[in-house]
């Protein structure tokens, strides 16, 4: 009689990487929809968040389909950096940061967001949630695929 637990392969963690890629792709498409279809001009902090998010969609997509762990290693600093910028932006919108910390000059205001969805959820909060979820998924994936 053979032990069934020795016949199963250990989980590769590929689904965690695919979930991170799906989150990055959805956030990228959402940002493009807001800017290109709805015509909303992003503020300075939104541009910085886009700089962190857009490459994640490409890096994680390539890593997921090539099943390459290095893509997650490269993507994790982008996700953490984006989460830091989104966290700061969220603090500005919530009024937790002093007014002299507001980095925006000309153009749309970083601290006054006009678009709310899902009953009051603002875009910087969604960005923070997306970056945090991607970072979490990548950490789980990297832990599961550690050699």
Let me know if residue 137 belongs to a domain: yes
Let me know if residue 83 belongs to a domain: yes
| pLDDT class of 122 with cuts at 50, 70, 90 | confident
- Token pair listed for 70: 């290095």
| pLDDT class of 106 with cuts at 50, 70, 90 | low
DSSP label of 11: P
- Token pair listed for 6: 């020795």
- Token pair listed for 28: 């990228």
Instruction: Choose between 48 and 43: higher pLDDT.
Output: 48
Let me know if residue 63 belongs to a domain: yes
Domain with residue 124: its CATH number is 1.20.1550.10
Domain that holds residue 56: 12-103+119-144
Task: Express as a percent the part of the chain with pLDDT over 70.
Answer: 78
- Token pair listed for 96: 């937790």
Let me know if residue 2 belongs to a domain: no
Number of structural domains (the chain) is 1
Using one digit for the tens of pLDDT, what is the confidence trace for 48-103? Answer: 999 999 999 999 999 998 888 899 999 999 999 999 999 998 888 888 877 666 66
């Amino acid at each position: 009689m053979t032990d069934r637990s020795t016949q199963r392969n250990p989980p590769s963690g590929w689904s965690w990487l695919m979930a991170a890629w799906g989150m990055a792709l959805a956030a990228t498409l959402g940002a493009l929809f807001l800017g290109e279809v709805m015509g909303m001009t992003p503020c300075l902090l939104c541009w910085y968040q886009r700089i962190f998010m857009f490459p994640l969609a490409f890096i994680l997509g390539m890593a997921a389909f090539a099943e390459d762990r290095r893509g997650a290693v490269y993507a994790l600093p982008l996700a953490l950096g984006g989460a830091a910028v989104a966290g700061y932006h969220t603090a500005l919108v919530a009024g937790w940061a002093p007014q002299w910390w507001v980095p925006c000059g000309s153009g749309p205001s970083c601290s006054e967001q006009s678009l709310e969805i899902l009953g009051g959820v603002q875009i910087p909060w969604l960005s923070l949630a997306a970056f945090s979820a991607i970072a979490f998924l990548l950490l789980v994936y990297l832990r599961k695929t550690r050699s």
